C-alpha cells in the first residue's frame, strides 16, 4: 500500500471512530457502544416480526423474510472481540460478571441465538403461524441469555 493510501485509510478509520463516539456517551468504550448497537439492530428486526406475530401490522412475507435474514446475519457476528475483559463491570453496561466467568457458556448462548435465527430464516416466508413459531424460538434464546448474563434494569 502506498503511504498516501494509508493516510486516507487512517483518516477514514478515525472518522468512523469519531462518528461512533459522537453517537454515544463520550466515555463509553467502543466495544460497549457496539454491543448496545448490536442489541438495537436485533431489536428493530425482532420488532418487525413481533408486530406481525401480535397482529399489530399485517403479515408481509417479504418483510418478514428480510427481517429474519438480517437477524441471521447478525447471528453470524462472532462475539469474541466485543466483550474484552477490561469492559467488565463498566457503569454504562448491564453485562454481568458471569460473561467473563463462564465465557464458554456465554458463547454457547450466543450460538443458540444464531441457530434459532437460522431456523426463523427458514420459516419466515411460510405464513404467520410458521413465523410465530420461529420467532418464539429466537425469543427464548434472548430471554435465556438475558436472564443469565444481563443485570435487570433499575
Q: In angstroms, how far is CA 25 from the centroid of its own chain?
A: 19
Select from 63, 88, 98, 119 the one that contacts a copy of itself (CB under 8 A).
Answer: 63
Distance between CA 79 and CA 24 in Å, rounded? 20
What residues numbered 19-48 form the site for a copy of itself, per CB under 8 A?
19-20, 22-24, 30-31, 33-34, 36-48
**Window contacting a copy of itself (CB under 8 A); options: 73-81, 98-106, 118-126:** 73-81
Classify residue 135 as exposed, middle or buried by CB count within 10 Å of its CB (0-12, 13-18, 19+). buried
In this structure, what are the phi and psi dihedrals at residue 84, rounded to the nearest 5 degrees?
-65, 155
Q: In angstroms, how far is CA 31 from the centroid of its own chain?
A: 13
Task: List interacting residues with a copy of itself (CB under 8 A).
Answer: 1, 5-6, 8-10, 12-13, 15-20, 22-24, 30-31, 33-34, 36-48, 50, 53-54, 63, 66-67, 69-70, 73-74, 76-78, 80-82, 94, 129, 132-133, 135-136, 139-140, 142-143, 146, 150, 153
Amino acid at each position: 500500500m502506498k503511504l498516501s493510501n494509508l493516510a486516507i485509510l487512517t483518516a477514514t478509520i478515525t472518522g468512523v471512530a469519531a462518528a461512533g463516539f459522537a453517537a454515544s456517551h463520550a466515555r463509553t468504550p467502543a466495544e460497549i457502544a457496539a454491543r448496545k448497537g448490536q442489541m438495537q439492530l436485533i431489536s428493530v428486526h425482532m420488532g418487525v416480526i413481533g408486530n406481525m406475530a401480535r397482529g399489530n401490522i399485517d403479515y408481509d412475507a417479504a418483510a418478514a423474510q428480510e427481517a429474519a435474514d438480517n437477524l441471521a446475519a447478525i447471528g453470524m457476528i462472532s462475539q469474541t472481540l466485543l466483550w474484552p475483559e477490561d469492559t467488565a463491570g463498566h457503569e454504562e453496561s448491564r453485562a454481568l460478571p458471569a460473561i467473563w466467568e463462564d465465557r464458554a457458556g456465554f458463547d454457547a448462548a450466543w450460538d443458540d441465538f444464531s441457530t434459532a435465527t437460522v431456523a426463523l430464516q427458514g420459516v419466515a416466508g411460510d405464513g404467520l403461524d410458521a413465523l410465530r413459531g420461529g420467532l418464539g424460538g429466537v425469543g427464548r434464546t434472548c430471554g435465556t441469555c438475558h436472564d443469565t448474563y444481563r443485570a435487570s434494569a433499575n
